[in-house]
Amino acid sequence: MFNGRAPARPRALPPASSTAAEFKAFVARLHFYVGLFVGPFLLVAAVTGVLYVVTPQLEDALYRPQLRTGGTGPARSLAAQAEAAQRQAGPDARLFAIRPATGPGLSTRVMFSDPRLGESESRAVFVDPETLATRGELTVYGTSGILPFRTTLDYLHRNLLLGDFGRYYSELAASWLWIATLGGVLLWLWRRTGGLSRRHPGNARLRTRRLHGLIGVAASLGLLFLSATGLTWSQWAGGRIDSLRGTLGWVTPGVSLALSPGVAAPMGEHAEHQHHGGMPAQAPPDAATRLDAVLAASRAAGIDSPMVEIRLPRPGQAWLVREYDRSWPTQVDTVAIDPVSLRVTSRADFASFPLVAKLVRWGIDMHMGILFGVPNQILMAAVGLGLVGATLYGYRIWWQNRPAPGALPRTLTQSWLRLSPAARASVALAAAAIGWALPMAGLSLAAFLAVDMLRWHLARRSQAGTVPAE
């Protein structure tokens, strides 16, 4: 019924003040969206990552009976230690590798493949190298050799204990982390240079924004590092990265186990996330008797780290002996040894790796808190806690500025439409490129935009006078 008022008209978008202001508004809206929707994934990744990097010492304490022997006498032969472990594991257990004790009072790990275990897992029997007494069995994981407690934390961090499907969560977090970090740094710089005072101790909103910005900027370099190194482990983006490295020749050198001359295969940096082999063919029955001779041959060839793993050969292949000390200085040399002549048939020395391969190795080890020992653990834990703090403060900012009941919030689509045609095209091209390189970012962005377009459509149909809110 006519009430004497003019009919309400949809509110037009307010005019933009400048190209710079439009772009700042767009970055702010994108930063808000990433924090709101990806924040839970970032929180889980940060908390589980911190737990992983701070627990090596706890794991040593938990499994002290298996890891420590208390002996100080001379060690028996590796062949005798392997035989003792075989008796414990049973005659059908397939011995495939041994890690000799790295010092007095420490046990030797004798590892058996087990089809009942998961990918990269093996069954380890711990042997006292002095008395040959077995000190128990544990499931160990990957090149890093972590034990069940930290293996669970690793799975929780990587896939939420959901298998390969769960890995999409960590890839989503890593794909957006660098975008959220760069956007936050830009917003902080713009506010600092825009003459906006942050010194309002009585203003809770400004105080929250200030803390959010300071924490994010302080941790920004570490967060960018975690994002880049985390993506190398991901399923889709990791494949893109591997293809790029292969195209550019940035692969990590490896050794060939073929006894006839062949080309060395690339060596993956993520061996802790790869299967130990499954052993489709059993090693020769008498292979374990040559363990000591193979170790001596590898020592003569320059394998001098106390942290060494010897892998038994499959029929027609060479022994593999590799260092696994990934602290500083890194010792990860690998040699292949002929089972008959005990000569080195192939080798990959870390000193001769291309610079990019070394940087990738160091980056991954730093991400895991291994490279510099305790200082590395403290640094990664601080960065992870910084991400937790920045994310929680970000949600507090959203809560303090949440829309009033019935109000329609601004949308990312609105912010994008306010850009100049050239800027809109540039943003669209950048989004397409990122979506191709980081598929989880692309798919989640499409989901964001689907919801955002619906909200934008509702905003266009809103009555005049509806006030947008954060």
* Domains of the chain: total: 2
Taking residues 17-45, report their average pLDDT.
92
- 290 and 379 in a single domain? The answer is no
Domain-located, residue 14: no
User: Residue 269 has what pLDDT?
Assistant: 62
Handedness of CA 362, 368, 372, 378 (dihedral sign): positive
Domain-located, residue 365: no
Domain-located, residue 6: no
pLDDT digits (tens, 9 = 90+) for 197-242: 455 545 788 899 999 999 999 999 999 999 999 999 899 999 999 9
- 24 and 168 in a single domain? The answer is yes
- 82 and 124 in a single domain? The answer is yes
User: Residue 5 has what pLDDT?
Assistant: 44
- 70 and 46 in a single domain? The answer is no
- 343 and 417 in a single domain? The answer is no
Q: Are 69 and 130 in contact (CB under 8 A)?
A: yes
Q: With CA atoms as reference, report the closest residue to 269 among 253, 247, 257.
A: 253
Domain-located, residue 74: yes
Share the mean pLDDT of the chain: 88
- 184 and 306 in a single domain? The answer is no
Domain-located, residue 238: no
- Residue 267's pLDDT band, with cuts at 50, 70 and 90, is low
* 353, 385, 410 - which closes a domain: 353
- 259 and 214 in a single domain? The answer is no
Matching residue, tokens 């619906």: 454
Rounded to whole angstroms, how far apart are CA atoms 23 and 423?
Answer: 8
Matching residue, tokens 């990918």: 119
- 173 and 141 in a single domain? The answer is no
- 220 and 298 in a single domain? The answer is no
* 353, 386, 404 - which closes a domain: 353
Taking residues 435-453, report their average pLDDT.
93
Domain-located, residue 106: yes
**Predicted model pTM:** 0.88
* Long-range CB contacts (within 8 A, 24+) of 347-350: 347/255, 347/301, 348/252, 348/253, 348/254, 348/255, 348/264, 348/267, 349/302
Q: What is the SS3 assignment for the chain?
A: CCCCCCCCCCCCCCCCCCHHHHHHHHHHHHHHHHHHHHHHHHHHHHHHHHHHHCCHHHHHHHCHHHHECCCCCCCCCHHHHHHHHHHHHCCCCEEEEEECCCCCCECEEEEEECCCCCCCEEEEEEECCCCCCEEEEEEEECCCCECHHHHHHHHHHHHCCCHHHHHHHHHHHHHHHHHHHHHHHHHHHHHHHCCCCCCCCCCHHHHHHHHHHHHHHHCHHHHHHHHHHHHCCCCHHHHHHHHHHHHHCCCCCCCCCECCCCCCCCCCCCHHHCCCCCCCCCCCCCHHHHHHHHHHHHHHCCCCCCCEEEECCCCCECEEEEECECCCCCECCEEEECCCCCCEEEEECHHHCCHHHHHHHHHHHHHCCCCCCHHHHHHHHHHHHHHHHHHHHHHHHHHHCCCCCCCCCCCHHHHHHCCCHHHHHHHHHHHHHHHHHCHHHHHHHHHHHHHHHHHHHHHHCCCCCCCCCC
Domain-located, residue 245: no
- 258 and 343 in a single domain? The answer is yes
Tell me the residue range of the domain where 449 lies: 19-53+161-231+374-460
- 411 and 439 in a single domain? The answer is yes
Res 326 pLDDT > 60:
yes
Taking residues 427-454, report their average pLDDT.
93
Q: With CA atoms as reference, report the closest residue to 352 among 332, 367, 372.
A: 332
* In the chain, % of residues over pLDDT 90: 73
> What count of Cα atoms within 13 Å lies in the side-chain half-sphere of residue 43?
14
Res 302 pLDDT > 90:
yes
Rounded to whole angstroms, how far apart are CA atoms 20 and 273?
Answer: 45
User: Residue 260 has what pLDDT?
Assistant: 74
Residue scoring higher pLDDT (100 or 453): 100
Give the lowest-confidence range in 11-25, 113-127, 227-241, 344-358: 11-25
- 43 and 173 in a single domain? The answer is yes
* 353, 388, 403 - which closes a domain: 353
pLDDT digits (tens, 9 = 90+) for 101-115: 999 999 999 999 999
End-to-end CA distance of the chain: 34
User: Residue 11 has what pLDDT?
Assistant: 45
Q: Are 378 and 339 in contact (CB under 8 A)?
A: no
Give the lowest-confidence range in 166-180, 395-409, 435-449: 395-409
Taking residues 453-461, report their average pLDDT.
76
- Residue 14's pLDDT band, with cuts at 50, 70 and 90, is very low
Domain-located, residue 336: yes
Radius of gyration of the chain (CA): 28
